[in-house]
Amino acid sequence: MQQELIDRDRKVNWHPYTQMKTASHIPIVRGEGSYIYDADGKRYIDAVSSWWVTLHGHAHPYIAAKVSEQLQTLEQVIFAGFTHPNAIELSERLLTLLPDNQEKVFYTDNGSTAIEVALKMCLQFHYNRGEKKNKILAFRNGYHGDTFGAMSVSGRGLWTNPFGEQLFEVLFIDVPTKENLKEIKSYIDLHAREAACFVYEPLVQGAGGMLMHEAEALSELMQFCKSKEILLIQDEIFVGFGRTGKLFAVDHLSEIPDIMCFSKGLTGGTLPLGITTCTEEIYNAFYSDDKTKALFHGHSFTASPLACAAALASLDLLLLKDTQRNIERIVKQHKEFGEVLKKHPKVKEVRQAGTIFAMEWRINEETSYFSDMHEILYPYFLQRGILMRPLGNIIYLVPPYCTTKEDLEEIYHVILEALDIL
Ligand SMILES: *Cc1c(COP(=O)(O)O)cnc(C)c1O
C-alpha cells in the first residue's frame, strides 16, 4: 500500500519547496499525539510539529469533537454582511490575552495573508490620512510568507531570485544587538519620513535558520520606530501560542506593536486560519462615511467557523495547567540538552528560545539552507523514526507540547548518535 500511494502521488502531486526530480514523499495515513504513522505502520515522532503548526498533538480528540460539532451546525458563512458566534468569541478571547492596545481582529486563512493584510493596513492607514509614507522596513533574513507582498518583505535569496524584478522595494536592516543599534537607528532616521511600517519576527527568525536576537535590543528598536511614527507589525505566526515559553513573544518585550499577525499554532495546527490584530488608532483611519476608506481585502474562507472552532478548542487546551507545565518541562529539557551539546566538537552553536531549540552543525562551507547536510541528516533521522527537517546544517526542534519526556530524550539521543556517526 505504501509503494502504491508513493507511485500515485508522484504521478499527480507537486509538493511545496521541493525539487521533484530528487524528492520522495512518505504517505502518512494517521496521527496521534506527537506521532504520525505511514501506510506501512511505521511510527515517526513529529519533532517539528508538521511545519511548526501542531501544538497539542495530532488528531486531538477535544479539538476533533469541537470541529465535528461545528461541522454539523454551521460549516461556512460569508463574513461580509454576516458574522457568527465563533468569530466573536475567538476575537474576544484572543484580545484579552494580547497587549491592551490590540482592539480589532481581521481574519484571513493563512500566515502569508495575515501579513498581506498587515501591510495593507499600514499603507492604507497613511493613504487614508493623506500622508505620503509608503516604504516598509524589514529584517534581513526574515521570513513572512510566500505571496508577493510577504515575499517582498522577506529576506532575499536563491528562492526569491526568479521573482526579483516583481518584488517591491524594502528597506532592510540587521537584527539589533547592543553593538549595532546606533547604526540601525541612524539608517532608520534617514528614511523615517517615508517609512510606513516595520515588519519583523520577534526574537526568533524561523525559516531564516532559527536565528535569535535579544528582547532588550528589539524593544529598544521598537521604541525608536514608535518615536519616528513608524507602525510596528509583529509577526507572531511562528512564535505565538507558547513557543517561546511565554504565551506570546510580546510577553518578553517592554514595547508593544501596533499590529500583530497569527496563524500556524492558532488552531492548534488543525485547520488553516490567519489573524491580523490592530489598534483602535489604525482601525479609526478606515472608519468613515467615505466608502472608499474601507479595507478592501477578503478571502472566501474568511473566519471559517470550523477553523475558529478549532482555534477556540486549541486555546482551551493551551491555557490548561497541564499544558503550561509541559511547556516548562520542554524548556528545561532543551536547556539541559543544550549544555551537553555545547561541549561537542561538531557543534558550532546552540540556540534556544523557550520550546524552540536549534544547533548548528560545524561544516567547512558557510551555513546555508542549500547545504548538503540536509540531504544526509533528513533521511538519517527519518530512518530512526524521527521527523526533523534541518535547514541546511541547522538542526532544530519545535515539538508539540504533548511530546513526552521520554520521546524528547529519544530525539536528543538520536541527535547525539548522528553527531558521533555522521
Ligand atoms: C510560516 C510563516 C509565515 C507564513 O505562514 P503561511 O501560513 O505558511 O503562509 C509567516 N511568518 C512567519 C514568521 C512564518 O514562520
What are the chain's domains? 1-60+321-421 (3.90.1150.10), 64-319 (3.40.640.10)
- Tell me what pLDDT residue 179 has: 97
**Ligand 1 neighbourhood includes 263 CB (under 6 angstroms):** yes
110/19 Cα distance (integer angstroms) = 24
Q: What percent of the chain has pLDDT over 90?
A: 95
Q: What is the CA radius of gyration of the chain?
A: 22
* Range 50-76 average pLDDT: 98
Is 133 a known active-site residue? no
396: amino acid identity, one letter: Y
- Tell me what pLDDT residue 368 has: 63
pLDDT digits (tens, 9 = 90+) for 158-179: 889 999 999 999 999 999 999 9
pLDDT digits (tens, 9 = 90+) for 393-422: 999 999 999 999 999 999 999 999 999 998
pLDDT at 106 over 80: yes
DSSP 364: S
pLDDT digits (tens, 9 = 90+) for 66-95: 999 999 999 999 999 999 999 999 999 999
The answer to pTM > 0.85 is yes
SS3 353: strand
Handedness of CA 377, 382, 386, 391 (dihedral sign): positive
SS3 391: strand
Identify the active-site residue in 46, 235, 258, 407. Answer: 235
44/87 Cα distance (integer angstroms) = 35
pLDDT at 209 over 90: yes
Confidence of residue 366 (pLDDT cuts 50, 70, 90): low
Identify the active-site residue in 35, 107, 143, 396. Answer: 143
Interaxial angle between packed helices 181-191 and 215-227, expressed in degrees from 0 to 180 and rounded to the nearest 10 = 20
**Ligand 1 neighbourhood includes 143 CB (under 6 angstroms):** yes
Neighbours of 264 (CB within 10 A): 28
pLDDT digits (tens, 9 = 90+) for 243-267: 999 999 999 999 999 999 999 999 9
Record the cell numbers describing residue 34, joined without a space: 506527537
SS3 308: helix
Summary mean pLDDT of the chain: 97
Is 35 a known active-site residue? no
Is 264 a known active-site residue? yes
Q: Cα 154 to chain center, whole Å? A: 13
- Tell me what pLDDT residue 367 has: 63
* Range 62-69 average pLDDT: 98
- Tell me what pLDDT residue 369 has: 61
pLDDT digits (tens, 9 = 90+) for 269-322: 999 999 999 999 999 999 999 999 999 999 999 999 999 999 999 999 999 999
